[in-house]
Structure 1
Amino acid sequence: MADRDGATPVYGIAVAAQLAGVPEASLRLFESKGLLTPSRTEGGTRRYSEDDIERLKRVTDLRDDGVNLAGIARVLDLEDINQGLRDQLDADQD
């Protein structure tokens, strides 16, 4: 079996919810609010990657800290932008 990277979708919603420590309904809510975009099979089944699980944990940490869903979306957007800029800087330095 080939090595998978963190972006390879392998977990169904039940397993992802268990790994993240949240109910399945929360995963559906987070998706509906744009906080998470799991892959889908041809039949429409959600598939979550290790990267998705890490993002879920970040969402739940922020929620536990009292940040509302709109605030979480903004924090995640800013973190994604920041990571993109860091990646670009690293690429420019190579």
Structure 2
Amino acid sequence: MYGYDEPMYLISVVAKILSIHPQTLRQYEREGLIEPGRTDGKMRLYSQRDIDKIKTILRLTRDLGVNLAGVDIILRLKDRLDDQDREIEEMKVIIEKLKNNQPSKSIAKKQSSYEVIIFEKH
């Protein structure tokens, strides 16, 4: 079984899955929006996380009309929020340990997701 972050999909497969042109994926990479893995032969390989991130980029550009510069800003802000959420969770664990004066038995951590809530105009 492959992991969420393990690069395994060729550019042609990802393009077909998402119904986009491979050149679109190359453009996203040039813009710094995605960073696919590479084989020793320099072929691009995409992980499931990459695919989910590309889906978010497509939602932002197609459904909300955000340009790629705006997408870059949104994704950077989202990454910062994810980092802060992780820090908050870590602090909660530390506080809980201090309160109980013992290590926590189980910890549920929030995973990063590339889901965007789209509001419809009424």
Normalising TM by the smaller chain, what interval? over 0.9
State how far apart, in whole Å, the 2-side matches of 1:68 and 1:22 are: 17
State how far apart, in whole Å, the 2-side matches of 1:31 and 1:38 are: 8
Give the alignment partner of residue 30 of structure 2, picking from 24, 29, 32: 32
Letter in 1 for 2:73: R
In 2, are the aligned partners of 1:9 and 1:39 still within 8 Å (CA)?
yes
Q: State the Cα deviation string for residues 2-25 of structure 1 (Å, max 9, x = none).
A: x32210111000111122221100
Identity, in percent, stands at: 33
Other-structure match for 2:17: 19
Q: State the Cα deviation string for residues 34-72 of structure 1 (Å, max 9, x = none).
A: 010000111100000000000000000000111001000
Letter in 2 for 1:11: Y
Compute the displacement of 1:92 (Å): 2.2
Q: What TM-score does the superposition give when structure 2 sets the normalisation length?
A: 0.72
Q: What TM-score does the superposition give when structure 1 sets the normalisation length?
A: 0.92
* 1:41 is the counterpart of 2:39: yes
State how far apart, in whole Å, the 1-side matches of 2:65 and 2:21 are: 18
The answer to which of 63-72 and 83-92 deviates more is 83-92
Q: Which has the higher helix share?
A: 1
Other-structure match for 1:74: 73
Letter in 1 for 2:81: N
Query: RMSD value over aligned CA atoms?
Result: 1.0
Give the alignment partner of residue 51 of structure 1, picking from 46, 49, 52: 49
Tell me: higher relative CO, structure 1 or 2? Use CA pairs within 8 A at least 6 residues apart: 1
